[in-house]
């Protein structure tokens, strides 16, 4: 069906690798105009070219750390200056590094998790709302995590992701009257589909076993009703659908698990 996203003005944070890359590809296939906001300039340029090949109407990049003051504003400004406004934001940028809570005494890591997964999200959300309002409304989608519901070795990370869900639902309640919809997608574990799917600085760059071993994957699948791993495209399809002003016109404040049934919130 026509999702009404042709020429839509879209910002995807963390859009250069893995899930973010797939989301960019999904909007590109709809003919959208895209800003890829990411730390990795080299990988962002690669994905920019891929998106144009897939049918994006136009693609720009905004390189920087969204934790830094002004970086989120710059990403929004790229869309406004290039195309006169903003219609869609997908807050995908995030960072994870797991540890059992009783052993997790690294305060610097706690701070980084909070900065990337929550502070940067607040910065991006606040930067986007005025532009979405000026465009007459639009869509914001948060890519959260199954860890938000409580997962082993993901205590601090999961807490930041749960906080993000609260933020996204607050946006839905406060700005629905301005035509802004806000929803959440919680993916299961998503392993990159190849070397081109991640940049050199990605957590996955050292190979999948450095993050999640085959034995751990098998353990996870035992509790997954569909008995298959979540792909980046699975998450992208949900994010693109939720951004549609036609298909998801009356959907806001909702949370969708894309995990094969691993969790059913």
Flag whether 1 is in a domain.
Answer: no
List the catalytic residue out of 27, 83, 149, 157.
157
pLDDT category of residue 189 using cuts at 50, 70 and 90: confident
Is residue 262 part of the annotated active site? The answer reads: no
Flag whether 203 is in a domain.
Answer: yes
Give the DSSP letter of residue 154.
B
Dist. CA 84–CA 92, nearest whole Å: 23
What's the mean per-residue pLDDT of the chain? Answer: 92
pLDDT at 56 over 70: yes
pLDDT tens for each residue of 3-49: 999 999 999 999 999 999 999 999 999 999 999 999 999 999 999 99
pTM of the model: 0.93
Flag whether 163 is in a domain.
Answer: yes
Flag whether 99 is in a domain.
Answer: yes
4-18, 62-76, 95-109, 173-187: segment of lowest average pLDDT: 95-109
Give the tokens for residue 66: 């969204």
Query: Facing residues of 154 across strands?
Result: 99
The CATH number for 128's domain is 3.40.50.720
Interstrand relation of 88-91 and 58-63 (parallel, antiparallel or unpaired)? unpaired
Q: Which pLDDT value is given to residue 97? A: 81
Flag whether 44 is in a domain.
Answer: yes
Give the tokens for residue 7: 């020429």
Q: Collapsing DSSP states into helix, strand and coil, what is residue 127?
A: helix
Mean pLDDT of 183-202: 80
Cβ atoms within 10 Å, residue 108: 7
Distance of CA 117 to the CA centre of its chain: 10
Flag whether 4 is in a domain.
Answer: no
Flag whether 74 is in a domain.
Answer: yes
Sheet containing 33-38: which strands, arranged edge to edge? Answer: 58-63, 33-38, 9-13, 88-91, 138-143, 180-187, 255-258
**Inter-axis angle of helices 71-83 and 120-134, nearest 10:** 20
Domain that residue 230 falls in:
9-258
Flag whether 264 is in a domain.
Answer: no
Are the C-beta atoms of 39 and 201 separated by less than 8 Å? yes
How is 157-182 classified by DSSP, letter by letter?
A: HHHHHHHHHHHHHHHHHHHGGGTEEE
pLDDT tens for each residue of 71-99: 999 999 999 999 999 999 999 999 988 78
Token match 């992208």: residue? Answer: 236
99 burial type by CB count under 10 A (0-12 exposed, 13-18 middle, 19+ buried): middle
Are the C-beta atoms of 182 and 252 separated by less than 8 Å? yes
Number of domains, the chain: 1
Phi and psi at 97, nearest 5°, equal -155, 115
Q: Collapsing DSSP states into helix, strand and coil, what is residue 37?
A: strand
Q: Which pLDDT value is given to residue 202? A: 64
């Amino acid at each position: 069906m026509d999702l009404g996203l042709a020429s839509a003005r879209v910002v995807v944070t963390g859009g250069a690798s893995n899930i973010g890359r797939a989301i960019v590809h999904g909007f590109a296939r709809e003919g959208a105009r895209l800003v890829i906001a990411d730390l990795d300039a080299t990988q962002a340029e690669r994905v920019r070219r891929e998106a144009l090949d897939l049918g994006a109407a136009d693609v720009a990049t905004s390189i920087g750390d969204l934790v830094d003051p002004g970086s989120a504003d710059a990403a929004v400004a790229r869309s406004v200056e290039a195309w006169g406004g903003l219609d869609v934001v997908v807050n995908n940028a995030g960072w994870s590094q797991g540890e059992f809570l009783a052993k997790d005494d690294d305060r610097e890591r706690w701070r980084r998790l909070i900065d990337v997964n929550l502070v940067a999200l607040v910065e991006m959300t606040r930067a986007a709302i005025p532009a979405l309002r000026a465009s007459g409304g639009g869509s914001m989608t948060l890519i959260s995590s199954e860890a938000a519901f409580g997962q082993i070795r993901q205590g601090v990370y999961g807490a930041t992701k749960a906080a993000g869900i609260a933020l996204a639902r607050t946006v839905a309640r406060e700005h629905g009257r301005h035509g802004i919809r806000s929803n959440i997608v919680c993916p299961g574990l998503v392993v990159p589909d190849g070397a081109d799917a991640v940049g050199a600085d990605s957590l996955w760059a050292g190979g999948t076993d450095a993050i999640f071993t085959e034995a751990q994957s098998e353990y996870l699948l035992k509790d997954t009703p569909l008995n298959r791993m979540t792909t980046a495209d699975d998450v992208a399809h949900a994010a693109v659908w939720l951004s549609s002003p036609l298909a998801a016109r009356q959907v806001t404040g909702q949370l969708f698990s894309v995990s094969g049934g691993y969790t059913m919130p």
